[in-house]
Structure 1
Amino acid sequence: MSDLKPPPRRKATSKPSVSAAKPGRRPKPVDKATVIEIFRRFEAANPHPEGELEYVNPYTLLVAVLLSAQATDVGVNKATRLLFPLADTPQRMLELGEEGVREKIKTLNYFNTKAKNVIAMSKRLVEEFGGAVPRTMEELTSLPGVGQKTASVVMNIAFHIPHIAVDTHIFRVANRIPFVHTKTPLETQAPLEKLVPDEFKLHAHHWLILHGRYVCKARTPECPRCPINDLCRYPAKTL
């Protein structure tokens, strides 16, 4: 899921600094007031963050997110530009068939498994949901190939139901700032959604991915240009 447009480079506003923990120690999560200020800055820098996965309706978004596992959004878009003109509804996808789907997405990792899941998912949508994409976590995750992260992305983007789908970028950022102390992306979603104020929750997913992808990078975070540098407690900041 999720290469996104890089946020504009903005100079951080002047705010009281937050002392970082000493290297080797796990810093205490930031307080509520700091959480609010962090997201206020993200919003000021990029009020309407958008993803780069191309889609035309909730169904094609669901398919695109499913295909994005272990793949870049650029690669997924190249494949779906061939796929979606032929199959932009569950019924049309079934008419194309598994072999037809496989042929269009063969440049992606695990394309055989993904083609099977796309067809099985489309069949379920037609038979049980009248061809419409359901709007609940329980129903979405009952579909073949659709896990909590994929369902959260679809609910958040297609239906504007606030969810924070936690990928490796969000997991890293959430534990570096830190908002939370968690061991896996999956267990990070619930406490993060509870922590983020409602007014920021719809776009929080995008802001955190953008921050992790373009600023708070895995190997060499770009701390000097980070808009929340003075609020972050990550002990291994770059100079």
Structure 2
Amino acid sequence: MVVNLYGFVGSTYTKRAAITLHEKQVPFIFHPIDYTKKEHKLPEHTAKHPFGQVPVLEDDGITVYESRAIARFIALKYSDQGLPLIPPISDLAKTAAFETAMQVENQQFDVWAARIVVEKLIKRLFNPDYEQNTALVDEAITTLNAKLDVFEKLLSEQAYLAGDEITLPDLNIIPLGVKLQEALGVDILENSHRPSVTKWWQRLTARPSWIAVQDGVKTVEKY
């Protein structure tokens, strides 16, 4: 059965789904959705994603939307391929650490990083005359730096967010983290005051799965 991924080529969320496909070595056909032409709002797309967003995955008659849900689905369905990415449910300690890390990625990083990226890049993409809310950006940067100080403590004690093995929450951070660097003009994740975060981030961005999608998602016919 052919796996289909629908999304915007440069979307951080589309890349998040594609990274997981690469990590699990799952061939897929990529169907680009053109935001500038509002293709994400066309009936044929909203039939797949009722909120008219991206990405969407179709696999063996199952349709999944929302990037974290897609990543988890891929990791579960193709559990015997590539890295595990999700610990076995029988290991309650690792499962607890994994679920905690998933929430940390979402609530302690993504929320604040997304505010910065949306305000400094995305809104201007659709409206070049948009006047940036500098107070909102400054608050988000201050808050995110404080969050990353906590990341430093966690990562000084373990290699990845859920322990010493890479899992989905680590991968989930990569696309938005790179986009954050573009928005700020500096890499907030590489800082001499946070050496553990820096080493973790460098390991993540060196992964072949990220290198494969960093310039845009493309169809992968086979591995």
TM superposition score normalised by structure 2: 0.27
Structure with higher strand content? 2
TM superposition score normalised by structure 1: 0.26
Q: Which has the larger radius of gyration?
A: 1
